[in-house]
Structure 1
Amino acid sequence: MDEAVARRLVALNEAFYERFAEPFAASRATPPPGFARLLAHLPAAPSCVLDVGCGDGRFGRFLRARDPAIDPTTGYTGVDFSAPLLAAGEAPGHLLRRDLSRPGALDGLGSFDWVVCLSTLQHIPGHDHRARLLREMRGCLRPGGRLALANWQFLDSPRQRRKLRPWAEVGLDAADVEPGDYLLAWQRGGYGLRYVALLDAAATAALAEAAGLAVLAQFRSDGREGDLNLYTILAVADRQGKGMQEWNADSCAD
């Protein structure tokens, strides 16, 4: 993808969340069922979690409600590009503003037992930018750590497909973007548009392999249909491409 187009799409989504942060956060106030299912696939009792694309920190609040022992100072770090969503955050730990579409977005954050990226990788424009961010997330994993993704499978739902809009509405053409890129409408509290990439099982597997990660498990959950998000649990791959099982319970610091 041309970098100028990528920047336009980042700006489009930034403007969307600037305008609709409140109704967007309100629409996701209740943790989705997939969060609870995800915990069964992750090592127990993490001492530190990195939430990439945390929004208002809802996954951090979910974790704290499930495990009050998570240290409110060092146990949770959330990063997001949306200032309004971060300002609304009430998660334990630290919420930091970072542009995840730029190289080095996770620099200096330390290493973590879990790294989660829930409904965020799909908003990073361009395959190369997504692959770079996934490699950076891998670099934040401690030995034996786990990385979890969730991505919207909107084309499988007739209800969601009705939200698809032509690229001309934002002054672009289908030739300007990559296969699997879509423009979707939002109509709560006004009319807005967001860029979303469809990251299905095949696309996720390709990104994982390029980042040196192995897929350990996948499942579908959430939404009225019960399958709107694809959750993927990943680990650093060994030389055979399998997930390494080593687990280290040292501190979060590098």
Structure 2
Amino acid sequence: MKMDTAQRLLTLNRQFYTTCAGAFARTRGVNQAGLLPSLPFLPPTPIVLDLGCGQARLAGWLANQRPSLTYIGLDASAGLLHAAARTVASLATVRAQLLLADVTAPDWPAAVLPLLPTGVRFDAIYALALLHHLPGFDLRATVLRQAARLLAPAGVLVVSYWQFLDEARWRQRQLPWETIGLTAGEMDPGDALLDWRRDGQGLRYVHHVTPAEANDLAAAADLQVATTYHADGQSKHLNFFQILAAE
């Protein structure tokens, strides 16, 4: 994918999460049952980074599992971070910080490190429903690689990929690329333009990351796959999860 095309897709998604932040946050439920397999990888008082944290629903869920966790939520949407602030304010036992930053910026880890004590790294980094909104394999792999460098020696990356093309209702929601002045020939296989119809309208770029591509991304980021599984949705197959560790 050409760089200018990737930038147009990133701009499209930024506009979506600016315009539709409130409506999007209201659709995100608190059920995080798909994350239960990640709990054995967390110490009793973990330090956790939530990339693309949205309204920080991960913090709310983890507060019931690891009440004394330290949580840093990072998102590029000021509107979603506003919702996240309300979430973490209600979590009395959680030490929480929120950071407005964009993982597509080359130096985003430099904004995270000052929030940690010197020499301390993360026990777990969650990248849930994030990487499939980043255009191009190289960018997705770069963000994974950068995140891995923020892990403690025994830390893990918990990644989820939306398997939207496996369900007919989402395949039917695809729009032609000409809707935004692009063509299918400019896209990578698995790229899609999806519409949004709740409390307003919007458009989002999404990439269908197959399990095989997820393995390739992990390898490109020098990460080992500790476990994989599907979960969520009525089919219990809506999201593909990987728990990754540094090699």
TM over 0.5: yes
Give me the whole-angstrom Cα distance separating, in 2, the residues matched to 1:83 and 1:146.
Answer: 27
Deviations 1:36-58 (A, max 9, x none): 33324x23324300111111111
Aligned with 1:144: secondary structure?
A: strand
Whole-Å Cα distance in 2 between the matches of residues 230 and 49 of structure 1? 21
Partner residue in 2 for 1:53? 52
Q: Is the 8 A contact 1:100 1:124 kept in 2?
A: no
Q: Distance in 2 between matches of 1:106 and 1:196?
A: 24
Cα distance in 2 between the residues matched to 1:165 and 1:32: 29
Higher helix share: 2
CA contact (8 A) 1:60 1:76 kept: yes
Matches within 5 A, 1:9-158: 9-40=9-40, 42-70=41-69, 75-89=70-84, 90-91=87-88, 92=94, 93-110=96-113, 111-158=121-168
| Deviation of 1:173 (Å) | 0.7
After superposition, what is the alpha-carbon deviation per residue over 1:72-127, rounded to whole angstroms, capped at 9, x for unaligned? Answer: xxx11111111100111122511111111121222242320001100001111111
Q: 8 Å contact 2:46–2:66 — kept in the other structure? A: no
Aligned residues: 232
Deviations 1:155-174 (A, max 9, x none): 11112211111111111111
Counterpart-to-counterpart distance in 2, 1:173 and 1:52: 30
Aligned letter for 2:193? L
Q: Counterpart of 2:108 in 1: which secondary structure?
A: coil
How high is the sequence identity, in percent, across the aligned residues?
39
Using the alignment, how far apart are the partners of 1:182 and 1:229 within structure 2? 16
What amino acid is the match of 1:100?
V
1:169-197 per-residue CA deviation (whole Å, 9 max, x = no partner) reads 11111122222211111111122110011
- In structure 2, the residue matched to 1:187 is 197
Contact 1:38 1:231 in 2 (8 A): no
Where does structure 1 lack aligned partners over 5 or more consecutive residues? 238-254
| TM-score (norm: length of structure 1) | 0.87
1:154 deviation in Å?
0.5
